[in-house]
Structure 1
Amino acid sequence: MGERVTMTTPTTTLRRAPDQTARIPVRASVRDALLVGLFGTLLALAWSWQPSIWFDEAATVSATMRSWPELGRMLLSIDAVHGLYYAGMHLWLDLVGYSPFALRLPSAVFVGVAAALTVILVRSRAGRRTAVLAGVALCLLPRVTWMGAEGRSYALTAALAVALTLIFLAAWRRGPAPRRIRVLWWTLYGVIAVVATVTFIYLAFLVGAHGLTALWTVWAGRRRDRAARASLFGWGLASLAAAVLLVPFALGVVGQSGQVSWIAPISWGSWNGVFVTQWFYLNRPFALVGWALVIVGVAALVVAARRSRAAGSETSRAQARNPSLLAIAVPWLAAPTLGVIVASAIATPLYSPRYLTFSAPAVAILIGVALDALRRRWLIVSALVALAGLAAPQFVAQRQPEAKQNSSWSEVADLISRERTARPDDTAAIIYGPVRQHPAATTRVIAYSYPHAFEGLIDVKLKTPAAQTGGLWETRYPLDDVTDRFGGVDAVWLVTSDKQDWRPGVTGKLSALGYTLDEEWSLTGVNVLRYVR
């Protein structure tokens, strides 16, 4: 077990770090981890129901609100990279039913899990205060408050990244153990690496980062320690086995790479994604302070490592055989980003800032080290308050109704629901037009996201429902081919993009069927019209 920690001593975090050859102190950290995890979940959950659903979340809804055979058929043609997440969300929504709140609730929970596991991870290599500060810093990162209110897999990838790193450290520590024990732990590591990569393929870069941590640790131990070399060998075999098992999945994902054709090639603008958007979202002031703290955290760990080596004690030599916090955090932060950028430059564009969300815990770890280096409690509290103050404007912006890609879909749904309630006896049809920025879909994505508002409307242009196409979205007839579907219809709704404006063409064709424009509404990115006859 680790050395007992008090909050009153002014000594540095790194001098009161626990013995890294001891067990990861899960029990000693559990209360702190639970409290920080609860804080992260509640913060992510706060007002998460306010923003409208947007296109990416509508893809989750479209995928998960279909039968299991239909989902399996879809994954053979598109979105296999998200297949395991979709399966989990299918189970969850089968259990609780669909609503925007239910869609986002798992992400808020995964933020809490990631924060709690970060506390445990840091506590295995540093003092209690550093661990708590790292967990709280993770909860405050603008990218993390964003992912906690997002019905996608990003929060889950962060939690899996911390869990996989903890298993890596636990397996490494078994270097001196009997061979059977080592094999069991590295097998577990390989299995979780497969699960993590199937959940989101970019997590394969984290396995590579663990390899850099392993090499760093062996080099820092001057390559003489047999247990460290055995652990490096264990990582190599586990990673190789995982890679072999993942080949069919990787080939399937590569075969569907056309679905990310929207990703721009690497350019100078990509660096804004790396230094601002990736972990600090759109919050440039937080990014400036955050990177300064990351640099301070790296410097503090380097200084501590040099002091430890200079001391030359048996404890310092034992610690050198195990991955240090510096050797864990720096590859985790840098290797996935550099790997994706290099792959994008020499192969095909793959870099999107949100895809590297799983490295956010590494950023938080280094920020936690930097905060604890302030040593005095009042300075640490002041710094945390300042970070919270920098995070607050972006947090508030993320919880506005149109925060997600300026989506006004909830307002469209409320409008149609309200107007239909005022005319309960009308038999109504609807024409779904284009949706902004997403040519493969139509504004029916609003109906997927808010089904109750559109229940009972006749989709006159529908050819094949999305669940039967083997893709994410439905197929449609031209309007001229379905004029026979308007028989007995009293009112027709048109929901269309304000850029690809269908209003003139649809108005003319409906006029020939005896309809006149009754009322029109303009919302952000969407025009809504009602015709009557």
Structure 2
Amino acid sequence: MTTPTSTLRRAAVPAAVRIPVRASGRDALLVALFGTLLTLAWSWQPSIWFDEAATVSATMRSWPELGLMLQSIDAVHGLYYAGMHLWLDLVGYSPFALRLPSAVSLGLAAALTVILVRSRAGRRTAVLAGVAFCLLPRVTWMGTEGRSYALTAALAVALTLIFLAAWRRGPAPRRIRLLWWTLYGVVAIVAVVTFIYLAFLVGAHGLTALWTVWAGRRRDRAALSSFLGWAVASVAAAALVVPFALGVVGQSGQVSWIAPISWGSWNGVFVTQWFYLNRPFAVVGWALVVAGAAVLVRAALRRRATDPPVPRMLARNPSLLAIAVPWLIVPTLGVIVASAIATPLYSPRYLTFSAPAVAILIGVALDALRRRWLIVAALVALVGLAAPQFVAQRQPEAKQNSSWSEVAELISGERAAHPDETAAIIYGPVRQHPSATTRVIAYSYPDAFDGLIDVKLKTPAAQSGGLWETRYPLDAVTDRFDGVDAVWLVTSDKQDWRPSVTEKLAALGYTVDEEWGLTGVNVLRYVR
């Protein structure tokens, strides 16, 4: 016989609002494997590019040297660099090893998305949302990127799950509520220190909290208690993060390349941000996002008209609509407003952590098709739309037209053909990045350049306190060519050093032996 008390206890945490980790575990694992393996496919083919070279430069130095660098630049990525330092210390550096953590983080984000959606909707919706996440062109890009973007997406979903778990404990004893909101604050700090833009996600959770309290038919203490828990945890986390934030602001010159907000920024919002360079996918994706939101609005209105009032002792739980929409809008709008009134901060890839919200609404829209054949057809269509961009992302020069792997392969092959000669190298400018030289190619593919004499090197990057090395003028190091049989020049094809270097090396007895033109880079070999 069921007693009123036992019924009440079961109702206190209804199945519809649990975080069903065990129930959805298999689905989450399968989606995670799908996303990880999909992302890993041919991920080693694209050449390393400038941003990934920054990760390599930062992590392939000692811990004191890394700490020195973060005092002057890239503190915003400091925690990520520390994690990658540990990883590469463990497995050694290679382009594949550099990108593997991002693929795993993508799989984790996909799995957590399935679990999150399953806590508010049916199994099919959850799986569809997870699969849609894995197919988003921005997501298939971030999983092959040796940067923190995939990790930020995983942290965003994890923080949202903790927010929901803490919220539903509104009726619980104060000690339990305190533990959960403390956990939320701690993870929020970790997320923001990993990438400061995740602070906007905490703001999105605040809007979700307000939305949920407002959606209640009457003011209930449990919901207000949960809102207060979020407010206290967020303010405490913000106070602890202030020193870090001030340090990041002090280094804001490193993002001086970001353009001010303009009409062109809207292309970033509606196409590049979550759909990368895939306009057809963007059109269909946004149609599905709007349809998914409409489905959730309609369901909310129906529930409001038919459901009995929530008992005062229960916290009304955030709906999928109240979770996804703020997550989608608040970070983007927040960064754009900050860019408009303060300093340019908006770059589409920095909002990658909102991609799970896009996938949630797409999953809801797909599930609303109801008939299995329609859902399968829609998924096949999404795969077809995603395929061209997926293939393009895995071409050798996919990342900013970087041909660095080809340069390294060329130099490696030519050096193997002349094994007995003593060779030096002159690193010239690198296209689009005036603060660095083409030595970034050597950081990215060190084996090809091992043993070459860097005649212009003044202070190695690891000792410079910055990301890159400092250099002498060529005229100041002519004595370093003593005993050198051959000299390599690797320079940008835009800032072309070939005439000036050829003239200066001619005075030392060198003539051009061979010359190669690759995408964005000229390579010359001199002999005497």
Question: Secondary structure of 1:117's match?
Answer: helix
Residue of structure 1 equivalent to 2:317: 322
Whether the aligned pair in 1 keeps the contact of 2:226 and 2:315 (CA below 8 Å) is: no
Whether the aligned pair in 2 keeps the contact of 1:21 and 1:173 (CA below 8 Å) is: no
Counterpart Cα distance in 2 of 1:83 and 1:380? 43
Question: Secondary structure of 2:317's match?
Answer: coil
Residue of structure 1 equivalent to 2:418: 423
Residue of structure 2 equivalent to 1:102: 97
Counterpart Cα distance in 1 of 2:14 and 2:291? 23
Q: Say whether 1:240 aligns with 2:243.
A: no
Q: Indicate how the Cα distance of structure 1 residues 511 and 319 shifts in structure 2: closer, same or farther if over 3 A, else same.
A: farther
Q: Indicate how the Cα distance of structure 1 residues 318 and 149 shifts in structure 2: closer, same or farther if over 3 A, else same.
A: farther
Counterpart Cα distance in 2 of 1:223 and 1:200? 38
Residue of structure 2 equivalent to 1:332: 327
Residue of structure 2 equivalent to 1:58: 53
Q: Say whether 1:33 aligns with 2:28.
A: yes
Counterpart Cα distance in 1 of 2:516 and 2:436? 21
Q: Say whether 1:87 aligns with 2:77.
A: no
Shift of 1:108: 0.3
Counterpart Cα distance in 1 of 2:458 and 2:432? 23
Letter in 2 for 1:326: L
Among 144, 147, 150, the alignment partner of 2:145 is 150
Counterpart Cα distance in 2 of 1:171 and 1:318? 16
Question: Secondary structure of 2:73's match?
Answer: coil
Counterpart Cα distance in 2 of 1:327 and 1:393? 34
Letter in 2 for 1:497: S
Among 439, 450, 455, the alignment partner of 1:455 is 450
> TM-score, with normalisation over the residues of structure 2?
0.96
> Which runs of structure 2 are paired with 1:277-426 in the superposition (5 Å)?
277-313=272-308, 321-426=316-421
Letter in 2 for 1:70: E
Q: Say whether 1:524 aligns with 2:519.
A: yes
> TM-score, with normalisation over the residues of structure 1?
0.96
Q: Say whether 1:218 aligns with 2:199.
A: no
Counterpart Cα distance in 2 of 1:246 and 1:45? 34
Question: Secondary structure of 1:268's match?
Answer: coil
Render the CA deviation track for 1:478-517: whole Å, top value 9, x for unaligned. 0000000000000000000000000000000000000010
Whether the aligned pair in 2 keeps the contact of 1:36 and 1:116 (CA below 8 Å) is: yes
Residue of structure 2 equivalent to 1:175: 170
Q: Say whether 1:434 aligns with 2:422.
A: no
Q: Say whether 1:71 aligns with 2:66.
A: yes
Whether the aligned pair in 2 keeps the contact of 1:113 and 1:159 (CA below 8 Å) is: yes
Question: Secondary structure of 2:525's match?
Answer: strand
Among 457, 468, 474, the alignment partner of 1:479 is 474
Residue of structure 2 equivalent to 1:11: none
Shift of 1:32: 0.1
Render the CA deviation track for 1:173-197: whole Å, top value 9, x for unaligned. 0000000000000000000000000
Render the CA deviation track for 1:293-347: whole Å, top value 9, x for unaligned. 0000000000001111111236799998110000000000000000000000000
Residue of structure 1 equivalent to 2:4: none
Between the two proteins, the alignment pairs up a number of residues equal to: 516
Q: Which runs of 5+ in 1 are unaligned?
A: 1-17
Residue of structure 1 equivalent to 2:43: 48
Q: Which runs of 5+ in 2 are unaligned?
A: 1-12
Q: Indicate how the Cα distance of structure 1 residues 320 and 269 shifts in structure 2: closer, same or farther if over 3 A, else same.
A: farther
Letter in 2 for 1:124: S
Whether the aligned pair in 2 keeps the contact of 1:47 and 1:399 (CA below 8 Å) is: yes
Among 458, 464, 469, the alignment partner of 2:464 is 469
Residue of structure 2 equivalent to 1:138: 133
Counterpart Cα distance in 1 of 2:125 and 2:99? 30
Among 264, 284, 295, the alignment partner of 2:259 is 264
Counterpart Cα distance in 1 of 2:438 and 2:524? 13
Residue of structure 2 equivalent to 1:195: 190
Letter in 2 for 1:79: D
After the TM superposition, list the runs of 4 or more consecutive aligned residues in structure 1 that deviate by more than 3 angstroms: 18-22, 313-320
Letter in 2 for 1:382: A
Letter in 2 for 1:275: F
Whether the aligned pair in 1 keeps the contact of 2:273 and 2:348 (CA below 8 Å) is: yes
Identity %: 88
Whether the aligned pair in 2 keeps the contact of 1:309 and 1:317 (CA below 8 Å) is: no
Shift of 1:222: 3.5
Q: Indicate how the Cα distance of structure 1 residues 215 and 315 shifts in structure 2: closer, same or farther if over 3 A, else same.
A: closer
Residue of structure 2 equivalent to 1:23: 18
Letter in 2 for 1:322: N
Q: Say whether 1:508 aligns with 2:473.
A: no
Counterpart Cα distance in 1 of 2:171 and 2:153? 30
Q: Say whether 1:186 aligns with 2:181.
A: yes
